[in-house]
């Protein structure tokens, strides 16, 4: 069949969940037997989100091929269980960069380069890039931003042109917000009407409108939206708030969204089979266990900064029948108030991050986990700080630090790597004066795992995960750290860079579960399969919780016995 294109646009306000909607539509089509991919077009001028503050744009996701991407690509991969690439995330910066590069080469033969047709042609070329590979039945394209924003106009103009060019092989789904006015006691459809009107002014007639609200949209209000938007009432869909993003595909399916899309495109496939998905939701809804995780970070005011990590823990909960309660603790608060707040957690996690702020609080949290035998997982910076903590308090390197935070440290156990081999075998170089964009060790790489280690019990004989970092464990200190009891279970095959550190489960420095990884395993976790590292981590948290309960019970029995005989 010819590739079909579905565009997802948004109106009224941002942050409505276009990425979740696009992923849910893709899941429904995939459940009907179609091959699907999803791409995100962002209107900001950055080449990619790699240099954006997480408070500005949430988490920066990384694809297998090393592209720093919008966090929505994480939703696409988690829902569809597929890998995305650089081609799945395009920004205004990338579009203009490509057009200017072509202009400098003389590709436009002296023409005046303009938004129309040159920018819009480049956008359309990128939209169709994945479809032209003939690997997918559907290419869903999420257009970032909100209809009416000046930044997204070239993208919407391109959608208008493509709807004309592709004919019946193209649909537009518009997501809007329908607010509930408490004083009036009713929902208001006027913002949605205006948003759809704005879309029509651009020349785009939506084929379906999804109405986000904190409650179900009454039928008479759906009829009103239908009347003012030239959309059949059955295609006006109520998308009420949900306690889990993974319930959205079923919610849309129950309103026959996939039936409507297939009918509009004149296709004929069996109904969607959501049985596997429903099983996952059943596990999520009916856990048998409960654990509390302390995530110690610096971006805790915006939990979207740790989106993939949070979801990976949820997936592990699905596969261990465990409800995961995550408390996001500000590492700067630990610096001020100490580690007492960590006392009642079943496990501690220190995620990735950049910059000096809050680092000492993270180190104190790691020390607490190590000394009190609390299961610990450090990711990227979290692993590096675990090395710093161990160097300072066990290996005798009192002032150990990372050169990211202290260039003049006498013991740079973490330092900037100046030369390394990327996943394609190319040698990359950098120094402290290099630019920040795209200059990290990025993408998936494979390396062997040392047998008999905790890591080997999780991954087997090799690990293949995605990276995003500039600093590495300094090889000059590896022997001293290992002599002090730190186990390095994986190193890159070419440069010998440390990929993981752990503590043994027996001996002088024994710990039940202590692991730091330089890579980002959260990027490859999915609801269907979970991830072996996070599943192992949650099992360790469950074991710790069980042990703590047993100790408390024994202590209670002992106290009761003493009172009885006193």
C-alpha neighbours within 13 Å on the C-beta side of residue 116:
9
| Beta-bridge partners for 14 | none
> CA quadruple 359, 360, 365, 371: dihedral positive or negative?
positive
Query: Which two structure tokens, joined as six digits, stand for 422?
Result: 């990327």
- Residue spans of alpha helices (H) in 441-513: 454-459, 478-483
Secondary structure E strands in 242-321: 289-297
Half-sphere exposure of 487 (CA within 13 A, CB side): 22
Which positions are catalytic? 380, 520, 522
DSSP reduced 3-state for 448: strand
Phi/psi zone of residue 415: left (φ > 0), alpha (ψ -120 to 50 degrees), beta?
beta
What is the rounded distance in angstroms from the CA atom of residue 165 to the CA atom of residue 505? 63
Chain-centre distance for alpha carbon 187? 32
Task: Go through 136-162 and write b for each residue having 16 or more CB atoms within 10 A of its CB, e for each that does not.
Answer: bbbbbbbbbbbbbeeebbbbbbbbbbb
Cα dihedral 250→290→538→530 (10° resolution): -10
Answer yes or no: are the C-beta atoms of 295 and 327 closer than 8 Å: yes
Residue in 408, 472, 406 with CA at minimum distance from that of residue 440: 472
Cα distances from 397 to residues 124, 368, 406, 469, in angstroms, run 57, 18, 15, 24
Place of tokens 């690439």: 85
Place of tokens 């203009």: 96
The sheet with strand 411-416 has its strands ordered as 400-402, 411-416, 471-473
Closest CA to 1 of 27, 28, 33: 33
Supply the DSSP symbol for 417.
-
What is the Cα–Cα distance from 260 to 253, expressed in whole angstroms? Answer: 10
Residue 127 belongs to what H/E stretch?
Answer: helix 120-129
Structure tokens at 64: 């297998």
Nearest to 224 by CA among 255, 190, 201, 252: 190
What's the CA gap between 178 and 189, in Å, rounded?
6
Give alpha helix (H) positions in 184-244. 190-202, 219-229
């Amino acid at each position: 069949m010819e590739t079909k294109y579905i565009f997802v646009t948004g109106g009224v306000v941002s942050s409505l969940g276009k990425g979740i909607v696009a992923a849910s539509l893709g899941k429904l089509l995939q459940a009907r037997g179609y091959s699907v991919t999803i791409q995100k077009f962002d209107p900001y001028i950055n080449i990619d989100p790699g240099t954006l503050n997480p408070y500005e744009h949430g988490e920066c996701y990384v694809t297998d091929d090393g592209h720093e991407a919008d966090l929505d690509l994480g939703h696409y991969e988690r829902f569809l269980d597929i890998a995305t690439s650089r081609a799945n995330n395009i920004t205004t910066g990338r579009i203009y960069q490509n057009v200017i590069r072509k202009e400098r080469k003389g590709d436009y033969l002296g023409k005046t380069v303009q938004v129309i047709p040159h920018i819009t042609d480049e956008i359309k070329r990128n939209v169709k890039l994945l479809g032209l590979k003939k690997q997918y039945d559907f290419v869903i394209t999420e257009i970032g931003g909100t209809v009416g924003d000046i930044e997204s106009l070239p993208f919407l103009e391109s959608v208008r042109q493509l709807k004309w060019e592709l004919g019946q092989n193209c649909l537009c789904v518009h997501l809007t917000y329908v607010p509930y006015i408490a004083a009036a006691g009713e929902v208001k459809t006027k913002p949605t009407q205006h948003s759809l009107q704005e879309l029509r002014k651009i020349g785009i007639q939506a084929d379906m409108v999804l109405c986000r609200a904190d409650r179900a949209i009454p039928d008479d209000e759906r009829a009103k939206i239908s009347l003012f938007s030239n959309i059949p009432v059955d295609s006006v869909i109520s998308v009420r708030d949900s306690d889990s993003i993974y319930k959205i595909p079923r919610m849309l399916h129950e309103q026959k969204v996939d039936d409507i899309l297939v009918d509009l495109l004149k296709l004929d496939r069996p109904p969607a089979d959501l049985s596997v998905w429903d099983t996952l939701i059943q596990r999520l809804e009916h856990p048998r266990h409960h654990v509390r995780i302390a995530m110690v970070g610096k971006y805790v005011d915006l939990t979207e900064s740790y989106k993939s990590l949070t979801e990976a823990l949820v997936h592990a909960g699905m596969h261990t029948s465990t409800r995961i309660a995550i408390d996001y603790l500000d590492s700067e608060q630990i610096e001020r108030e100490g580690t007492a707040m960590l006392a009642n957690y079943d496990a501690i996690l220190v995620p990735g991050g950049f910059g000096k702020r809050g680092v000492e609080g993270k180190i104190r949290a790691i020390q607490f986990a190590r000394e009190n035998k609390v299961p610990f997982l450090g990711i990227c910076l979290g692993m590096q700080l675990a090395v710093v903590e161990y160097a300072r308090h066990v290996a005798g390197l009192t002032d150990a630090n990372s050169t990211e935070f202290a260039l003049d440290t006498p013991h740079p156990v973490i330092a900037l790597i100046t030369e390394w081999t990327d996943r394609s075998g190319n040698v990359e170089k950098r120094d402290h004066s290099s630019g920040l964009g795209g200059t990290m060790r990025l993408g998936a790489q494979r390396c062997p795992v040392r047998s008999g280690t905790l890591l080997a019990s999780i991954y087997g004989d090799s690990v293949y995960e995605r990276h995003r970092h500039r600093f590495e464990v300094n090889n000059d200190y590896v022997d001293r750290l290992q002599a002090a009891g730190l186990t390095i279970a994986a190193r890159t095959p070419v440069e010998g860079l440390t990929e993981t550190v752990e503590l043994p489960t027996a001996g002088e420095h024994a710990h039940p579960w202590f692991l730091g990884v330089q890579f980002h395993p959260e990027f490859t976790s999915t609801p269907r399969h979970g991830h072996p590292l996070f599943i192992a981590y949650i099992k360790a948290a469950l074991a710790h919780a069980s042990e703590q309960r047993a100790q408390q019970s024994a202590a209670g029995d002992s106290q009761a016995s003493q009172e009885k005989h006193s």
